[in-house]
Each structure stands twice: as C-alpha cells, then as structure tokens.
C-alpha cells in the first residue's frame, strides 16, 4: 500500500489523515456542515496538501452507525455515501467503511503509555477481550479481541442503548425523574454530553432546586469550581459510567482491560480519577472480585479513531 486515506467522521467534525508506513500524516479536522458531500470534503482535504484524486489508492472511513451494503447514511450529519460513486470521484481502488467505534477499539492497539492514564490498577489478561467505552455525542461500546499474530478484531455493538442500571435508592429516585421525562431510560441518555445536562436537571428536581446551568460545559465547569449540585451531578455520572462499564466486562469477559474514550471524560480527568467510578465499576455483589483486578485506563491520545481506521485498512488489505 503506497499511500492511503483514513477518516473518522462524526456528527460535527470529519477528521482526515494520510496513512503511510503504518503512521498518520497531515491530520486535518473539517466541519461536516461546510461540505455538501463526503467526496467534496475529501477532495478539499487532498487539495490542501497539493494532492489530486488518484493520489491515494485506498481509503478507510470510520462512520457512526451500522455499516453494510452499497449506500451509507451518516447518523448525525447530512452526508450520504454510495461506495461506487465515492470510489469513482476519488479514483480509489479500495474503500473500507467501518463502524466508528470499531475503529476506536482498533485504535487502542496503537495507544502508548503516554496516551492513556491509569484509573484502576490491575493486570490485563493478554488473550482476553478488552472493553472500549466512551461518552461523547452518544455512548459508544465495543469489544477488542486479540487474534494472535499481531491481528485484532473489533466487535461493535449498540451497548450504549442498554437500560441504565440502578443500584441504590438514590439512583432509583433519579431514574424515576428521568423516566417521567423519557419513558425509557437508556445508558446513553445519561452517559453522553447531552446526558450530563439531563442528569443535572434530574438532580436539581430531586433536591427541589431550580436549574441555573444550561449546557454540559457549564455543568462541568461548575463542578470543577466546587458548586455542590454540579459536583453531585458529575459524581453520579462517573458512578453510572462505572456501573455500565462493569456490566459490560461481566458480559464480555473483558479481562483484557477497559479503555475509557471519547471527548467528554478527559475534560475532567482529575475529578474522574478521584470519583466513585471505581466503586461503581467493581461493586457487583458476589462477582466483585472478578472485576477487582481488571485495569481501567482513560485514553488521552489525540486521534485513536484515525489510528484504528489505519489498522483496519491494513488488516483488510492483508486478507
């Protein structure tokens, strides 16, 4: 593979890079709203590097949502992609589309010690699956399976849509507040950027207080400044993320470790490290010991989704 293109496309931003000799080059972040089609965005990206269509021979795009068939509709933006049209416009020999969290999971194989922070100490079992979970626009969940010989398989799913777990009376009272508004309470209804604001409003309602913060960023900033209601909100967010992550470890047997990814948690990394996440993660009754030595890392690397797209493309072409 001479030169390839990798992309990580979300609802707001599209990240592109060149992939050469198993490394990222020339990372650019573009606003999806600025382009009518993904082809136009890629053409603009290549032109910014002095490259014309045909300069890259293969591409891998990591896209939010289930990927199959000739056409793909992006979940959180206006783009649509037809494989044959995309390859024709950009003169590609190969196009691989993968789920964005599959790319994120594969990206964990490239994260160095400097790109992650230990949250729960433990010893990863090298042949066991690892869990990759991350609050962002939604809640992404995937498993990473070692296949041997330096190869990996990512298993994406819709684990963010599982029911929100309730483990004590306080959480049950908050759940009732959320249920009255939503009717069905999924994990990502709370464990996401927008979910943090929803949780804050539920905490205020339970305490009989009028909410005064109007964005997730304000809730986070207020918590870090010591506002007691915002602190309680962010603490509950961390505990619930621990509960959901622990449930997934039990389901998958993910003793290969847990990677917390996404754009939300790194914004309050110190708070998260000192929070009740570890308690929520490991408090599983008779199975608490099973989780007690599973390591958990907070990933702070810049572009793991792009790295994972490169890994996926190399493995696909090798096959």
Binding site per annotation, positions:
7-12
**Pairs from 282-287 (Cβ < 8 Å, separation ≥ 24):** 282/120, 282/242, 282/246, 283/167, 283/243, 283/246, 284/246, 284/250, 287/250
SS3 203: helix
Burial class of residue 270, CB neighbours in 10 A (0-12, 13-18, 19+):
exposed
Q: Which residue positions form the known binding site for ATP?
A: 7-12
CB-based contacts of 81: which residues, under 8 Å, 6+ apart?
A: 37, 38, 61, 63, 71, 72, 73, 74, 97
Q: How many CB atoms lie within 10 A of CB 149?
A: 6
Looking at 6-65, list the stretches that DSSP marks H as alpha helix, in order from N- to C-terminal side. 38-48
Q: Which of 249, 45, 273, 42 is nearest to 133 (CA)?
A: 249
């Amino acid at each position: 593979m001479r030169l390839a293109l990798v992309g990580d496309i979300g609802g707001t931003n599209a990240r592109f890079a060149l992939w050469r000799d198993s490394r990222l080059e020339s990372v650019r972040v573009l606003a999806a709203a600025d382009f009518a089609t993904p082809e136009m965005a890629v053409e603009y990206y290549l032109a910014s590097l002095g490259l014309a269509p045909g300069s890259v021979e293969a591409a891998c795009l990591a896209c939010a949502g289930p990927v199959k068939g000739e056409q793909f509709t992006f979940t959180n933006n206006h783009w649509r992609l037809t494989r044959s049209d995309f390859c024709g416009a950009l003169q590609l020999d190969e196009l691989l589309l993968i789920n964005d969290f599959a790319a994120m999971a594969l990206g964990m194989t490239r994260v160095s010690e400097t790109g992650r922070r230990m949250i729960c100490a433990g010893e990863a079992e090298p042949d066991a699956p690892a869990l990759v979970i991350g609050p962002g626009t939604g809640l992404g969940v995937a498993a990473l399976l070692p296949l041997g010989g330096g190869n990996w398989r990512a298993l994406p799913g819709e684990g963010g849509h599982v029911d929100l777990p309730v483990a004590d009376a306080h959480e049950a009272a908050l759940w009732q507040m959320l249920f009255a508004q939503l009717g069905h309470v999924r994990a990502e209804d709370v464990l996401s950027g927008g979910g943090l604001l929803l949780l804050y409003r539920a905490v205020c309602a339970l305490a009989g207080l009028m909410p005064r913060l109007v964005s997730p960023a304000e809730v986070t900033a207020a918590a870090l400044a010591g506002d007691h209601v915002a602190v309680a909100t962010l603490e509950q967010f961390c505990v619930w993320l621990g509960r959901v992550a622990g449930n997934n470890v039990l389901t998958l047997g993910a003793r290969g470790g847990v990677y917390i990814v996404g754009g939300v948690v790194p914004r309050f990394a110190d708070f998260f490290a000192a929070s009740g996440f570890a308690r929520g993660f490991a408090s599983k009754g008779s199975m608490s010991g099973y989780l007690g030595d599973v390591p958990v890392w907070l990933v702070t690397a810049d572009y793991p989704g792009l790295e994972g797209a490169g890994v996926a493309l190399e493995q696909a072409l090798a096959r």
